[in-house]
Amino acid sequence: MMTGSAARSMKGRKKLFAIIVGVLLIVGIGTSVFIFASRPDLTVSLNKSSLLIQRGTLQTLQISIATKNLASGQVSLSTSGLPTNVTASFSNPDPQIQAGGSTESNLTITAGVHAYGQNSTVTITASSNGLTRQAALLIAVVGNTNNYDIGGSYAGGWNITTINTVEGDVIVLHLTSSDSLTHAFFVDYNGNAVSDPNEPLSPNFTSPTIPITLRFIITQVGTFSYYCKYHPTMTGTLHSATP
């Protein structure tokens, strides 16, 4: 059986041990958090999030790469998901980056004369020492701009009943009402003879002399009908081909 002084001594040692263990746990946890937070990393960003590019032209964007937590070394840049007949090239595809520093590379997007593709998501990837980071760029390829003066009447229909185009072309219609009735022009992509969301639709127009304008990009390949929203016998055909 312990004496009073021995018991007090044992109790004191246990308390000291508990304090030491607590300190070690705090230090250990703190060290673990510090190591995790200090893991080397990269960031990659673009000076544009979307790009509208004309067939047969090129555009240049800037890519910025920065290090975090002492990451350094050679960075390899690549792209994926480009639209058809669109190419990409980097001014510096393998830049070097120093710890705590940043670097840049120009990305040139070239759309060939037969390029096409709407709402294509291109992924730009930066890789270095096992790290991979990405940025996204939305690209739409547009072609020629074609203007049409279209008049329509309930009795006579549209004065232009055939439009030939290719995917990516921009169609600009200048619409008038030959009989002063209310008309609205729409392209029927899904073939149900009804104007649906995401199909080109003009505002109402009634004037025989003052046109309203409908502008849209051809986003599909095929043969489609166009109608008056209020007079379904007013029809025409839009032929869209691959560039």
- The half-sphere exposure of 233 on its side-chain side, counting CA atoms within 13 A, is 5
- For 21-57, letters b (16+ CB in 10 Å) and e give eeeeeeeeeeeeeeeeeeebebebebeeeebebbbee
Q: What is the pLDDT of residue 8?
A: 56
Q: What is the mean pLDDT of residues 170-176?
A: 97
**pLDDT the model gives residue 119:** 83
**Which whole number is the average pLDDT over 179-205?**
97
| Mean pLDDT, rounded, for 155-166 | 97
- What total of structural domains would you count in the chain? 2
Provide the pLDDT for residue 31.
37
Burial class of residue 207, CB neighbours in 10 A (0-12, 13-18, 19+)? exposed
Residues 165, 234, single domain; the answer is yes
**Do 158 and 113 have their domain in common?**
no
Q: Which CATH number does the domain housing residue 93 bear?
A: 2.60.40.10
Average pLDDT of 78-107? 93
Average confidence (pLDDT) over 26-54: 69
Confidence of residue 12 (pLDDT cuts 50, 70, 90): low
In the structure, what pLDDT confidence band is assigned to residue 10 with cuts at 50, 70 and 90? Answer: low
Owning domain of residue 235? 145-241
